[in-house]
Structure 1
């Protein structure tokens, strides 16, 4: 079981590092079957999925333009709600970053989990990436819900969980993340739906496929 989990985590780690490797490649080069499959299995609309990627990039760009290397902030958008994590020099900068994120077009809410402190090291960031992959691998192994329904972002031992989920899915995801080695804290950034809504959203891709 441990060997299986390690293989899954390693595969997910390789996938998660592709954006770093392909950062300078035009968007069209990294879209296609893989991206389409992710969108189909996601509970967000295709428009919201694509817009979330754009929002995250725009928020981070605005922060870098204003603060440069003085801060290290990651912006993850899910259904237009933005999670901010990372490190900033002081409370005033944290507040300003939250304001900048909220001003980006179509952002409906901001969860500011940035901490005051020195920017994390490269080693720490690599560890965060691996921890994210390890949690996702455990989601797959547990098979209690679709791993594609919960986005994971790890930062300095804190596991942030985002998604459109039922209460049971949220509890299962939180329990799995909390019992993963290296996780010190779990923060939920979920949008909750009931079981009937979940069934409707999960049936939507199949219906769309049949229409084509």
Structure 2
């Protein structure tokens, strides 16, 4: 059975993301205990997690300063590898965004998946957020996967999956994502690790969580 705290955390994140899409004016706070658990279960080092947050903030700010409202760009960083999704008006803008991000401190690589087209509508973004939530929920339900090992981003029906996972986990998660309603395509951007490495980095359950099971 899926641990109740993991199900709550995944549901809370999906709800927060959906609400943020619909209303950027309402602040949302996820409980400290849930956040602490998610950080502890993440397969990145704590330093990498902080660097990824910094990359996303700095890159988004610099892109906004350069392109303003004429572009819709999402920056997702996992283990210092940056995924760019959204829409820009021209191919030149697409390349400019990549150049801006490449100059951000700690960035090691860029996946430039920006579409050259008009900005997506609010309804499309809301639909994408719901798809992301459904994919995460499906990963939570899979007993042989850890949802916290995956980063899921959806853009115009395409689901991008990031994370430090084994080949088995990558194949299983991709298979699950493809069965979710609304998913048109799945793009895998995984950092593949061995089963032995997974055993070394996998978080061990705490005494409290063990007694709760």
1:163-183 C-alpha deviation (Å, 9 max, x unpaired): 000001000111111111111
Q: TM-score, normalised by structure 1?
A: 0.85
Give the paired residue count.
Answer: 200
SS at match of 1:144: coil
Q: Which residue of 1 aligns with 2:211?
A: none
- Residues in 2 aligned to 1:97 and 1:147: alpha-carbon distance in whole angstroms: 30
Q: Summarize the Cα distance change of 1:141–1:58 in structure 2 as closer, same or farther, 3 Å threshold.
A: same
The aligned residue for residue 75 of structure 2 is 75
Q: 5+ unaligned residues in a row in structure 1: which ranges?
A: 1-6, 208-212
Tell me whether 1:56 sits opposite 2:56 in the alignment. Answer: yes
For residue 3 of structure 1, what is the aligned residue in structure 2?
none
| Alignment deviations for residues 34-93 of structure 1 (CA, whole Å, 9 cap, x no partner) | 221111000001111122112112111111100001100100000010000000111111
Stretches of structure 2 that go unaligned for 5 or more consecutive residues are 1-6, 208-213
Q: Pick closer, same or farther for the CA change 1:126–1:19 going to 2, 3 Å.
A: closer
Q: Once the 2 structures are TM-superposed, how far is the Cα of residue 32 of structure 1 from its aligned partner?
A: 2.7
Counterpart of 1:170 in structure 2 is: 170
Distance 2:109 2:204 in 1: 26
CA distance in 2 between partners of 1:10 and 1:36 (Å): 16
Moved more, 9-18 or 45-54: 9-18
How big is the shift at 1:206? 5.4
Tell me, yes or no, if the aligned pair for 1:40 and 1:205 is still in contact at 8 Å: no
Kindly indicate whether residue 32 of structure 2 is the aligned counterpart of residue 32 of structure 1: yes
Q: Which residue of 2 aligns with 1:42?
A: 42
Query: Structure 2 length as normaliser, TM-score?
Result: 0.85
